[in-house]
Amino acid sequence: MNNIVRVSDPRELLAFIPYQIGYHPSDSAVVVSLRGHRHRLGVIARADLSDLRADGRLAQALGDFLQRDGAVMSIVVVYSESRGTWENAVRPLVAACGRFSEVQVWWVCRDRFSRADPEALDRSQFEWGTDRAVGDLSTTQVSATMVAHGAVIGESRQALGDVPELRPEESQRVWRAGDRWAVARRSHPERWTAESLDLWDGVLDAAVARFGDVPLAFADIPPVTWAKLGTSLRDVGVRDGVILRCAARALGIPNVAESGDSPGDIASVMRTIVTGAGTPCVPDPGILESVCGVMRIATSATRRKHRCDGLAVLGLLAWWEGSGARAREYCNRALAVRPGHGLAHLVAELLDRGIAPGWVDATRTEHARFAAE
């Protein structure tokens, strides 16, 4: 979203973090980048406290990530039920961020939070200020804005990668229809590809037309169509054409189907997604969620052993949106089905290397500003 939300209460940032990472963190350290003299909100990243203890390189990687974002202040927000178990784990992270920025350390424990004295972060123990009540974060300006834009917070990290499950009596019928569609490709592959992409165009257009209204549901489209959509993703050419269509709709590019699906078209859109080349536009989050909703249903309409292709596309689109945790869950599930899946590996590598979507560097679009006290 392009709105700028100006806030000065730390509760506003605490309210924003779960929306940004997709769920309420626990036993975690969340690092927040604030950029420029106005402390505009930049990237947000999360790590398990256990991973920070086990791998000293993780703290350095997170610090490098914020430095590349241009952070002038880094806020390390620790979510933990107790204090003594994590201070040593986050010290390397504080040091890594302190190389290039001011640092604040916040500790959130249930409905209370406190801040460490920034002048004493290099001492043997952090010195903490007075505990403050977090209160009901749903009443914050940030929460109201995020809800108005349709944002939701998942129940857990694992839930971020869920796709809807069909009823047992539906699933077998739909899966068999998908099997028949896969077999049909052998006879007329070119016609099969064209028909598959035509189906995707029709359903994606229907989903986008409903933007701002009730999202497209399984019952709105014939089950056999969902089966064909999900099964068609097993073909790399169709899958890449679908990525092209999803990206084009999110960027407001018209007449994609008429321009064809040449390797040049697909390569151009992939460069836009990964590098931001050729356009300063941020993908429309509402439209992107609409097309992802179609992708989730289409993926659920395939047998579990064939879901890796849809999950990998969802991972790519989630990464492009800036939802790293969601992208990671989709990729993990895709790789669990097929460990050698190329697209899932590509997205996982982007996440491992801390590479942000191209539009972040191309536009530096701000969706909130937090003025630290």
- How confident is the model over 120-137, as pLDDT tens digits? 888 878 888 888 888 888
Q: What does the domain layout of the chain look like in residue ranges? A: 6-156, 161-359
pLDDT digits (tens, 9 = 90+) for 277-325: 555 467 888 899 999 999 999 999 999 999 999 999 999 999 998 888 8
Tokens of 257: 């189907």
Q: Residues of the chain with pLDDT > 90: what percent? A: 49
Q: What is the mean pLDDT of residues 156-183?
A: 90
Tokens of 369: 């500003």
Give the residue, 213 or 101, on which the prediction is more confident.
101
* Cβ atoms of 180 and 47 closer than 8 Å: no
pLDDT of 262 strictly over 60: no
pLDDT of 52 strictly over 60: yes
* Cβ atoms of 297 and 218 closer than 8 Å: yes
- How many CA atoms does the CB half-sphere of 172 hold within 13 Å? 2
Query: Computed over its alpha carbons, how large is the radius of gyration of the chain?
Result: 22
- The pTM score is 0.77
Task: Give the strand order in the sheet containing 369-370.
Answer: 6-7, 369-370, 40-48, 28-35, 71-79, 102-109, 112-115, 132-133
What angle is formed at CA 351 by the lines to CA 293 and CA 240, rounded to 5 degrees?
50
Query: Which CATH code, of 3.40.140, 2.60.40, 1.10.3470, 3.10.590, is assigned to 6-156?
Result: 3.40.140
Of the pLDDT bands very low, low, confident and very high (cuts 50, 70, 90), residue 367 is very low
DSSP H or E stretch at residue 228: helix 223-232
pLDDT at 274: 65
| Mean pLDDT estimate for the chain | 85
Tell me the DSSP string of 51-114. HHHH-HHHHHHHHHHHHHTTEEEEEEEEE-S-STTTHHHHHHHHHHHHTTSEEEEEEEETTEEE
Tokens of 141: 């300006």
Of the pLDDT bands very low, low, confident and very high (cuts 50, 70, 90), residue 6 is low
- How far is the C-alpha of 47 from the C-alpha of 30, rounded, in Å? 6
Q: Residue 373 contacts by C-beta under 8 Å, 6 or more apart in sequence?
A: 8, 10
